[in-house]
């Protein structure tokens, strides 16, 4: 949506050709920004109606069609527990469960999930009734700033449902879509392993 800001270009008044994007500036001088007339979007506020079941509650939204599931949850459903770390599917902070399968909610549009069952961190447990994973994350100090934590826990919940990871190496590997810049990986592993072991025991 905002690619102009992501790659410098030297084009003139229309979108530059790919070859021009990578070419070094031939000479310093005028830099004319490309226009986006090519997109032909003049009224970007048309909305579509989206029905989602979020943590068991049926909800209806009227959203610009390019609203991601992540932004729908955070900005329209008011569920800020799901975090945005990159918006590009590169960090896992936005992980939620769709019909029990973990996905990056920034990589799907809300309209694409019409009618689906969405579970966010708020749906997994509350402060007075924590899920096993949530409790294990506290016990093992599996976070620092806590920003990646909802995504880690949703991802680990998905991993439990998948039932494929048993060993430490398998858990490490299958939890590697969730970055933790605070570096709490050793403790995340310990927390998830405890719950995996308890479920398979």
The strand order across the sheet containing 95-98 reads 57-63, 48-54, 117-119, 95-98, 101-104
From 97-105, 111-119, 180-188, 193-201, span contacting another protein (CB under 8 A): 180-188
Minimum CB distance to another protein, residue 81 (Å): 2
Phi–psi pair at 34, nearest 5 degrees = -70, 150
**d(Cα 157, Cα 174) in Å, to the nearest integer?**
12
Query: Binder to another protein among 143, 157, 159, 196 (CB under 8 A)?
Result: 143
Phi then psi for residue 146, to 5 deg, are 85, 0
β-strands 101-104, 117-119: how paired?
A: unpaired
Note whether 36 binds another protein by CB under 8 A.
Answer: yes
By beta-carbon proximity to another protein, the closer residue of 99 and 186 is 186
CA–CA distance, 197 with 201 (Å, rounded to integer) = 6
Binding site for ligand FES (CB under 6 A): 84-87, 89-94, 104, 106, 143-149, 180-182, 184
Chain-centroid distance of CA 101 in Å reads 13
Q: In the complex with another protein, which residue's Cβ is closer, 160 or 189?
A: 189
Q: Which is nearer to ligand FES, 15 or 98 (CB)?
A: 98
Give the footprint of another protein on residues 81-100 (CB under 8 A): 81-88, 90-91, 93
**Least distance between another protein and beta carbon 9 (Å):** 7
| Nearer Cβ to ligand FES (15/188) | 188
Backbone torsions φ then ψ of 82, nearest 5 degrees: -80, 125
Q: How far is the CB of 174 from ligand FES (least distance, A)?
A: 16
Phi and psi torsions of 63, nearest 5° = -130, 150
Task: Give the shortest CB-136-to-ligand FES separation in angstroms.
Answer: 15
């Amino acid at each position: 949506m905002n690619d102009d800001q992501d790659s410098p270009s030297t084009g003139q008044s229309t979108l530059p050709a790919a070859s021009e994007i990578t070419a070094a500036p031939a000479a310093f001088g005028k830099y004319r920004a490309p226009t986006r007339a090519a997109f032909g979007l003049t009224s970007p506020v048309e909305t579509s109606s989206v029905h989602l079941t979020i943590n068991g509650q049926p909800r209806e939204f009227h959203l610009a069609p390019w609203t991601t599931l992540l932004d729908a949850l955070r900005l329209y459903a008011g569920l800020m527990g799901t975090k945005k770390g990159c918006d590009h599917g590169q960090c896992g902070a936005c992980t939620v469960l769709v019909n029990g399968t973990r996905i990056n909610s920034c990589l799907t549009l809300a309209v694409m999930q019409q009618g689906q069952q969405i579970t966010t961190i708020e749906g997994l447990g509350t402060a007075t009734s924590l899920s096993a994973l949530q409790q294990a994350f506290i016990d093992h100090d599996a976070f620092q700033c806590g920003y990646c934590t909802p995504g880690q826990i949703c991802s680990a919940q998905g991993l439990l449902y998948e039932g494929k990871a048993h060993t430490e190496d398998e858990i490490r590997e299958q939890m590697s879509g969730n970055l933790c810049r605070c570096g709490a990986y050793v403790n995340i592993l310990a927390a998830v392993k405890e719950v995996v072991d308890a479920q398979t025991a």
